[in-house]
Copies of this chain bind each other. A is one copy, B any other.
């Protein structure tokens, strides 16, 4: 848990934070639930009169330790769970990520994304798995916000295309990874505020190159 997460946690717990979904948000097709107390995430889902087309949830080890009952509930209400490798191990009680994923997919979400930092990310869906690379970086200036930027790029691509198929989720993970690779280049959100669409496309081309190989198979 980094400083920012601790702060968010403290604010949630101490400030009696009760988010109210604005009327203008009713009917939203895509819901990204950031890393908050699971009971608050449930409250947000409950406030939406129409079930969104896709609900993505971020969570963390802290809630597994302090609010597992609520977390288990919210897991049954969502479509995509977004966690890191150590959280996947903790949530499942399995060390191997394939076994961990298999177990977590029985807890509610249909899709599971396991983030592995500099080692990229894995997307699990039924018996399918997709391995997304991270861009090998010369320097990480400030990793703060990389996870949230990944989540934003991911659901942003899905919302823009309106396509929630497994194939498009793969692309969305690449978009999220590309956005996160910008985030860490400068302090806070600075780099994200200055990038152009052209720079994003260039970065996406780098991702294509990164994993591209040809093989002759009968």
Contact = CB atoms under 8 A, between A and B. Distances in A.
Contact of A129 (B131, B136, B174): B136
A171 B215 CA distance: 6
Interface string A173-208: 111000000000000000000000000010011011
A207 B212 CA distance: 11
Contacts of A134: 131
A138 interface: yes
Interface range on chain A: under 10, 10 to 19, 20 to 34, or 35 or more? 35 or more
A171 B136 contact: no
B129 A210 contact: yes
Given A119-B116, A204-B217, A97 B167 contact: no
Contact of A131 (B98, B167, B174, B211): B211
Given A205-B217, A214-B167, A131 B122 contact: no
Contacts of A213: 130, 132, 167, 170-171, 173-174
A93 interface: no
B174 A210 contact: no
Interface in A24-52: none
A205 B217 CA distance: 8
A215 B210 contact: no
B138 A210 contact: no
A136 to B, nearest CB: 5
30 contacts: A96-B139, A97-B118, A98-B137, A98-B138, A116-B119, A119-B119, A120-B131, A129-B136, A130-B211, A130-B213, A131-B133, A131-B134, A131-B136, A131-B210, A131-B211, A132-B211, A132-B213, A133-B133, A167-B213, A167-B214, A170-B213, A170-B214, A173-B213, A174-B213, A175-B215, A201-B217, A201-B218, A205-B217, A207-B215, A211-B211
The 6 closest A-B pairs by CB, nearest first: A131-B133, A119-B119, A170-B213, A211-B211, A98-B138, A98-B136
Interface of A: 96-99, 116, 118-120, 122, 129-134, 136-139, 167, 170-171, 173-175, 201, 204-205, 207-208, 210-215, 217-218
